[in-house]
């Protein structure tokens, strides 16, 4: 339960950072979502143990744990797909060259470790016309901003970057 509440605090801090332009621990939003999911899963495991002791049905508890485990597996595989893709090495150069992003952030000196957004789950999709998107934090000397990268699957050539734009909250 402590992990869940700590995750909620990190989420609140992460969104406050974006709203109030506070540039300290900007990635707390990402870690907050992870801790909320782990905290909820530990709650479900505790609930399972107590329901087994009471000899009650645990089907829905198992379903909840399975959904969280599948979510972690899907996001992990999509994260791996991004990091090992052909477009990834050129991604940072494309962001650095974008005039809109550069004017908002100043000289870019760093990026977030964890790309996020539910759109990255499409990267594991084998459809030739699939599209995917993810959000990264760009750290600049003037400001930090979240940037949405939209990808398209180009038939045999794999993924290519279709668009880069700033995320507005």
The pLDDT tens digits for 67-101 are 999 988 888 887 787 777 777 778 888 888 889 99
Region 35-48 average pLDDT = 94
CA dist 157 and 148 (Å) reads: 22
User: The pTM is what?
Assistant: 0.78
Provide the pLDDT confidence category of residue 155 given band limits of 50, 70 and 90: low
Residue 63 confidence (pLDDT): 95
Cα–Cα nearest to 37, from 1, 60, 79, 68: 68
Please report how the helices 2-20 and 28-53 are oriented relative to each other, as an axis angle in degrees rounded to 10.
Answer: 160
The helix-helix angle for 59-83 and 28-53 (nearest 10°) equals: 150
Question: 37: pLDDT confidence band, cut at 50, 70 and 90?
Answer: very high
β strands within the chain, DSSP E: 108-111, 131-140, 144-153, 159-166
Matching residue, tokens 């998107």: 133
């Amino acid at each position: 339960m402590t992990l869940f509440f700590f995750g909620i605090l990190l989420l609140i801090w992460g969104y406050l950072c974006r709203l109030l332009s506070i540039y300290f621990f900007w990635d707390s939003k990402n870690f907050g979502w992870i801790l909320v999911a782990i905290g909820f899963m530990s709650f479900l495991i505790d609930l399972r143990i107590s329901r087994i002791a009471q000899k009650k049905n645990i089907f829905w508890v198992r379903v909840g744990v399975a959904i969280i485990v599948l979510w972690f597996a899907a996001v992990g595989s999509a994260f791996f797909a991004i990091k090992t893709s052909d477009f990834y090495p050129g991604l940072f150069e494309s962001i650095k060259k974008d005039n809109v992003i550069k004017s908002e952030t100043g000289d870019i000196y760093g990026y977030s470790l964890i790309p996020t957004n539910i759109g990255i789950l499409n990267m594991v999709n084998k459809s030739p016309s699939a599209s995917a998107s993810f959000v990264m934090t760009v750290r600049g000397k003037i400001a930090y901003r979240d940037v949405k990268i939209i990808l398209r699957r180009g038939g045999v050539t794999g993924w290519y970057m279709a668009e880069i734009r700033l995320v507005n909250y």
